[in-house]
Amino acid sequence: MIFTETKLRGAFIIEPEKMEDYRGFFARVFDKKAFEEHGIDFSVLEASISFNRKKGTLRGMHYQSEPYGESKIVRCTLGKIFDVIVDLRPNSKTFKHWFAAELSTENRKMLYVPKGFAHGFLTLEDKCEISYHMDQLYRPGHASGFRWDDKTFKISWPVRPKIVSDKDKSWEPFST
């Protein structure tokens, strides 16, 4: 696996290293030791998928508050998404900064999202499926978020979302 740290400390783009032959390829997508070598302590406690029928569907911006903050690995297994994270760690040099990556079936990239970050995505094609692996169990009482268009962050989405849930439309502006 190839780990490339983003401009937000502790967040990584992870690319599988393919071993190819006439049959196709094989690639590792998780190796605890490789993660540890990059300073990442990650153990999967929960995994989920999200299927999105239409291009322009936005989910986010979500996070779990402490003491149940979660790290996650996000991968688009079908289609293409614009995946966004925002650093919400008050003591971080990149507090309130955001980073985005295109994740797709074709590029097979993953995004490692550390604790203390919000996450969301916008589908760039119809029929997108996203796989999540988290190091914390979902705690509904600690689920939080902010609107995708919150002026605090000025996220530059590639297109205006067409489909956003009522819950995601109703988030309050971010406050520290």
Active site residues: 62, 132
Task: State how beta strands 110-113 and 128-134 pair.
Answer: unpaired
Return the structure tokens found at 45: 């406690």
Q: Cα Rg for the chain, rounded, in angstroms?
A: 16
How far apart are alpha carbons 91 and 64 in whole angstroms? 18
DSSP 45-98: SEEEEEEE-STTEEEEEEEE-TTS---EEEEEEESEEEEEEEE--TTSTTTT-E
How far apart are alpha carbons 26 and 105 in whole angstroms? 15
| Encoded amino acid at 140, one letter | P
